[in-house]
């Protein structure tokens, strides 16, 4: 009986430490000619997008909401002299 509260505490602790889930935002979108969700902006390259729309119909376009964030911007190198 002591294992159940310990396991429950571990699960609650892991859930509390987990980060917030966020949607990924990539630079290329596939605009598909089908269904209710015609746009998929989950492609890092134009070639990936083209491979997805090949055979099912659609086009690829740049994602106008894409923001590469701070990780992708180059940081200046400071030199102390």
Q: For residue 62, give both structure tokens.
A: 């740049």
What whole-number distance in Å separates Cα of residue 26 and Cα of residue 64?
Answer: 10
Residue 20 has a pLDDT of 65
The pLDDT tens digits along the chain (81 residues) read: 678 777 766 667 666 666 665 666 899 999 988 777 688 899 999 999 999 999 888 999 999 988 887 454 555 666 666
Residue 57 near residue 33 (C-beta atoms within 8 A): yes
């Amino acid at each position: 009986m002591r294992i159940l509260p310990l396991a429950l505490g571990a699960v609650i602790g892991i859930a509390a430490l987990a980060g917030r889930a966020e949607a990924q935002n990539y630079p290329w979108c596939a605009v598909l000619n089908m269904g209710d969700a015609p746009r998929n902006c989950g492609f890092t390259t134009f070639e990936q997008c083209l491979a997805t729309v090949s055979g099912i119909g659609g086009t690829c376009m740049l994602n106008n909401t894409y923001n590469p964030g701070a990780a992708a911007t180059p940081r200046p190198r400071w030199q102390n002299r």
